């Protein structure tokens, strides 16, 4: 049986089981072989468990010729860590947030007769109540429909749990994420944390255990 693995973000192989024993394979090394639908961690492939523990005798002869299978494509940004999704880029998240905010603010400004956003109202009790109400509406109505807010919907993004990959469609979770985002937004830094974060998470994402990903093409 032939095995392929990812070394330094490059697909390598095919290798026999004995050849793999001389490679630097770690528990989280991505490996693929016939019978697997997608790449898996070495520790999750039963045939490799002994290789991870011991070193077998030196390879003595070439294995018989076997058909070389073609593994599925491997993308460094699509890993098991993100449950098969690609993370949304920082630019995509910024544009989605900007457009989504504009769409929400127009009707809100009309309903409040221009009082919201005027002068110091944004930092007032009135502004806080309006922001919180908007966050509750977005989290309670949009998340169950789209797994995110209207900006996410427009740009083909959604919010998922980093732990299990489940779409963030529970109203209570959507409300909690949007309200927390609103509160932390007053401090600026927590909502620009993704500029340097490896998982492109803001601090409210870290608190909720969420990441923003690109929806898969159907």
pLDDT of residue 153: 95
**What pLDDT does 57 receive?**
46
Tell me how many helices (H) and strands (E) the chain has: 8, 6
CA dihedral 190, 192, 194, 196 (to 10 degrees): -110
Is residue 6's pLDDT more than 70? yes
Give the pLDDT confidence score for residue 189 in this predicted structure: 87
Q: What is the pTM of this model?
A: 0.61
Q: What is the pLDDT confidence band of residue 210, given thresholds at 50, 70 and 90?
A: very high
Residues of the chain above pLDDT 70, percent: 85
CA dist list (Å): 9 to 67, 95, 128: 25, 29, 46
**pLDDT tens digits for 132-191?**
999 999 999 999 999 999 999 999 999 999 999 999 999 999 999 999 999 998 888 888
Give the model's pLDDT for residue 117. Answer: 62
Return the higher-pLDDT residue of 45 and 98. 98
Q: Is the model more confident about 53 or about 138?
A: 138
pLDDT of residue 30: 87
Token pair listed for 97: 């947030």
Per-residue confidence band for 55, with pLDDT thresholds at 50, 70 and 90: very low
């Amino acid at each position: 049986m032939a095995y392929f693995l990812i070394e330094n973000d490059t697909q390598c192989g095919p290798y026999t089981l004995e050849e793999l024993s001389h490679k630097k394979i770690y528990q989280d090394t991505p490996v693929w072989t016939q019978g697997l639908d997608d790449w898996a961690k070495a520790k999750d492939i039963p045939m490799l468990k002994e290789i991870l523990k011991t070193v077998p005798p030196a390879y003595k002869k070439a294995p018989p010729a076997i058909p070389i299978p073609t593994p599925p494509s491997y993308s460094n940004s699509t890993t098991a860590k993100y449950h098969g999704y690609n993370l949304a880029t920082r630019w995509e998240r910024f544009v989605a947030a900007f457009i989504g905010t504009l769409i929400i603010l127009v009707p809100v400004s009309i309903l409040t007769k221009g009082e919201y956003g005027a002068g110091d109202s944004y930092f007032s009790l009135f502004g806080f109540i309006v922001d919180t109400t908007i966050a509750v509406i977005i989290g309670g109505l949009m998340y169950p429909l789209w797994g995110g807010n209207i900006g996410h919907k427009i740009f083909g993004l959604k919010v998922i749990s980093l732990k299990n990959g489940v779409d963030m469609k529970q109203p209570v979770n959507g409300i909690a994420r949007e309200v927390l985002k609103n509160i932390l937004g007053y401090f600026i830094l927590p909502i620009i944390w993704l500029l340097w974060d490896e998982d492109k998470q803001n601090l409210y994402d870290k608190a909720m255990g969420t990441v923003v990903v690109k929806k898969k093409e159907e």
